[in-house]
Amino acid sequence: MAIVSVSQLKPGERITENVQTRRGNLLLPKGRVITEKEIEVLKAFLISSVQVDSKTPEPQVSKENAVVEETAAPVRSNPFYDEYDKMLSLLKRIFTSVSGEIPQILEIRNQLESLLQYIDQYQVLTFSPRSFQLEDYIYHNSIMVSLTSYCLAKWHGLPSKDWIPVALGGLLHDIGNARVDTHILFKPNKLTKEEAEEMRKHTIIGYNFLKNVKAISDGVKFTALQHHEREDGSGYPLGVKGENIHLYSKIIAIADMFHAMTTDRYHKKAESRYLVLDQLFNESFGKLDPALVQTFIQKVTQFHNGVLVKLNDNRIGEIVFSDRTHPTRPWVNVNGTIINLSLERSLYIQDVIQK
C-alpha cells in the first residue's frame, strides 16, 4: 500500500482506505477502482492524496475496445435486475404477439410480483436499466412506470390492495403501441400532425385490448385509456377532466411523464431528472394531480446530506441542506462555496453521482 498524490493517480489503481470529504462524509469507499471519473471527483473536493494498493494497476479498457470488452464480460448476478430482464423479455413477447391479444394475465402478474419482491432496490431518481437499447424504449418505459407507480401508490397512502393493480396498470398502459405503425413509433424526429393523431390512437387500442379481460380490474383497464388525460381536460383521447379520471390513471400519468422525459428516445435525448421534477411541479397547476405530484417529488428527493451531485455547469458538489419548500433545489457545497439552487435559478442538478 502507498499514499499517492491525486495528481499522480492512474486509472486502475485501487483505493485501500475510505476517502472522506472535509465534512466527514464518505466520498469514495475502500476497494473502489480509480477511473477518470473518480479522479475528477477527488480533485473537485480538493483531496490531496489517497491510499492505494501498491500492486500494478488493473488494466483499463481502451475506448476502441470498450464495446467488445463490455459485451464479453460476464454480467454480475443481481436478483432485482435478473427479474427486471425477465419482465423485459416477457413484455417483448406480449407486444409482438401475432394474435394481438393479451396473453396469460396470470403469467404477467406472477412475473410482476417476482420483480416487486426486490422493490427496495429500486430508486426512482437514480435507476437505469442494466442494458438499454433505443428500440426497447417502450418496454423499459412500461416497466419503470410500473415500478414507480407502485411506489407512488404506496407513498400516497393507497390501500395495499391497490398497489399491485396500479403496478399492473403501469406495465400495460402502453400496450396499444403494439399496433401502432413502427415507422411512427421509431421515427427519429418530430411527428407530423397526421402521425401524432395516429399515435394518439394507442390509448383506444390499448383499452380495447384490455376491456374484455376478466382477470384485471376496471382501474387497470382505464389506465390504458386515460394515462394521457389531464386535470383541466386538455388531454386525450376523450378530454375528460380531473373528477372523471381514474386515480390509477392519475398516478401512472405522473410516472409516465417522468420516465418519458428522463429516458433517451429516438427523437429526444434524456433530460436532467431534477429539471424534469421542476417541470412536473409546474404541470401540477392544472395538468396533473397536485397532491400526487407533491408526494412524488417529496419522496424521490429525500436524500441525506452528503449526497454527491453534478450540476449542469459540470461542477461536482455535495448536498448540505434540503429545503422542503424547494425539494428539487437544495443547497450544494462546491469546493467550500455554498450554492443555494432555489436562488441560483440558472443552475440545477444534472445528475446524482452517489447516494
Mean pLDDT score of the chain, rounded to an integer? 88
For residue 143, the surrounding DSSP H or E stretch is: helix 137-155
Q: What percent of the chain has pLDDT over 70?
A: 90
**How high is the pLDDT of residue 75?**
46
Tens of pLDDT, residue by residue over 33-88, are 888 878 877 877 778 888 888 665 545 544 444 444 444 444 457 899 999 999 99
Whether 296 shows a pLDDT value over 90: the answer reads: yes
Three cell numbers written together for 44: 473537485
Identify the CA nearest to 256 among candidates 163, 348, 166: 166
Can you give the pLDDT at residue 28?
81
Higher pLDDT, 36 or 253: 253
pLDDT of residue 166 exceeding 90: yes
Question: What does DSSP assign to residue 130?
Answer: S
Contacts 24+ apart (CB under 8 A), 296-300: 296/152, 296/155, 296/254, 296/258, 297/327, 297/328, 298/324, 298/327, 299/124, 299/151, 299/152, 299/155, 300/124, 300/125
Q: What pLDDT does 302 receive?
A: 84
pLDDT at 40: 76
For residue 156, pLDDT over 70 is answered with: yes
- Report pLDDT digits (tens) over 183-217: 898 888 888 999 999 999 999 999 999 999 989 99
What are the backbone dihedrals phi and psi of residue 44, each rounded to the nearest 5 degrees, phi first? Answer: -60, -30
| pLDDT tens, residue by residue, 107-136 | 999 999 999 999 999 999 889 998 899 999
